Amino acid sequence: MWRGERQAGCYMPARTLVARWLSSMLGASSARSSGIALLLVAIAATGCGRTPRTLARADGGSIDARGFADAIAAAGADVAADTASDVPAVGVADTAADRGPVISQKQQAEPCTSAGECASGFCADGVCCSSACPERCKTCAAPDSLGDCAFVRSGVAPRGTDDCPASASSTCGLDGTCDGAGACRSYVAGTECGNRGCQGSVVASVSTCDGAGSCQPGMLVDCAPYLCDPTSGRCLNSCASDAQCEGGRPCTNGSCFMRSLDGCTSNDDCASGFCVDGVCCTSACEGPCVSCTLVRTVGACTPVAAGSLDPSGICRNDMTSTCGQTGLCDGAGNCDSYAQGTVCAPSSCSDGFLTQVSVCDSKGICTSGPKLSCGPFGCAPNGSTCSRGCPNGDAICAAGAYCTGDEQCTAKKTSGGPCAGDHECLSGVCASGVCCDSACEGTCQSCNQPGSEGRCLPLPNADGGLVCGTSTDAAED
């Protein structure tokens, strides 16, 4: 049995297809029997699964169901026998077997040639799409979004050759591609849009597009020490003769540049672009403690030796008290600083306390030394050390102390203590061999009487009188 076909929302049985094919082959005018022509037209008219109540005639008229049966009989028994079983009764639908298999429609992203093939009803750019996607810089065939209407990537041409017509680069207009955002792209920034020209060693009028459709005049390009090539409108980067070098420079080994040892007067003289201290150098060689003129490294920016003066004069010669720069170089291209431990302030002594020397730390800061007591000695007369000995008497000792004969300071004695001089006593008086509360210089007085040491008292005699005085002196006369 012939397969069926779905058309216009209904199923067409195989017999209907055959009838239509025969009709197209024979035609009403070629049929030998008007009955056969009528029969073919009638069968074809039943193609949507239900026999209509009124059928069309081949001659343009119409025939109802009863007339249709009479027409079959008139057409001949052989034709009726062959077709009667395929013609459904009036008002009876085709069976599932008569309909044949259903041809399903294609899904999104599947290849297509017409919209009728797609379930979405849209065939664009050769695939079933989510929409008609008519925009000029959109596509349904992008690999990363197949079946969806998406922007054409920047720099990619649209689907139509006339969608983004390219203009000349000199106009900075459209370049014939899309911009990735749904619009036509202009020539990108940097595209040359102006004619080049040579003016001696200068390339003139190198204009470029700004990316927004405008041509912007470019800056003049200096080709020195080479000349501009008039053929290409670009700077030469080598030379074959002196005539291709600017300012009468010699062409040596294909170069218009001078060697380091040849000397220079400007940066344009050097291939490196740096003329430093009269020689071509590898860099600008700026900063302290570097030079391009060292004997063994002429032309190379090299640190000067440690301990050398800074040739650029940048390094400061600070005082040691600041722990700053020494004015010399450290051998690594830097200004040298005072080393850690360098004395930045001397010791000092005040009020019996010695402050030891201050030194520079690793961060260039002068840190004070520890503070120590000079006791029992005081500060030495120089004011920077503690005293050790008695070269100047008790002056080196702290208050309340005196200097002994062994050049040691000891505490002064209270009244009654044995003494050899006034400086040993707190009272300042040494009388009768002890520290006394007064000078005790009167006749028959003493500071060293038993039980009263340190107190100046009269001396008693054996019978309660004075042992010395006028009476004793008178008796002797």
Domain range summary for the chain, segments of one domain joined by +: 5-99, 278-337, 340-411, 414-477
Residue-level pLDDT at 90: 37
DSSP helix/strand/coil, 432? coil
What pLDDT sits at residue 405?
55
pLDDT at 262 (0 to 100) = 60
Going edge to edge, which strands form the sheet with 358-360?
343-345, 358-360, 366-367
- CB contact set of 43 (below 8 Å; sequence gap of 6+): 15, 16, 19, 83, 86, 87
Structure confidence by residue, pLDDT tens digits, 442-469: 888 899 999 899 999 988 864 444 455 4
Beta bridge partners of 276: 279
What element of type H or E holds 83?
helix 77-83
Instruction: Compute the CA torsion angle 38, 43, 44, 49 (nearest 10 deg).
Output: 150
- Dist. CA 310–CA 288, nearest whole Å: 6
Contacts of residue 340, Cβ cutoff 8 Å, sequence gap at least 6: 359, 360, 361, 362
Q: What is the distance between the alpha carbons of residues 430 and 447, in angstroms, rounded to a whole number?
A: 9
Confidence of residue 153 (pLDDT cuts 50, 70, 90): very high
pLDDT at 69 over 60: no
* Share of residues in the chain with pLDDT > 70 (%): 72
- What tokens does 413 get? 């004695």
In whole angstroms, give the CA distance from residue 95 to residue 118: 27
Q: Which of 85-99, 198-212, 305-319 has the lowest mean pLDDT?
A: 85-99
Contacts of 40 by beta carbon, 8 Å cutoff, 6+ apart: 19, 22, 23, 26, 31, 58
How far is the C-alpha of 314 from the C-alpha of 328, rounded, in Å? 10
Per-residue pLDDT tens digits for 329-352: 999 999 999 999 999 999 998 888
pTM above 0.75, yes or no: no
C-alpha to C-alpha distances, 3 to 18, 98, 147, nearest whole angstrom: 10, 8, 31
- Residue range 88-102: mean pLDDT, rounded: 46
Residue 471: predicted pLDDT: 38
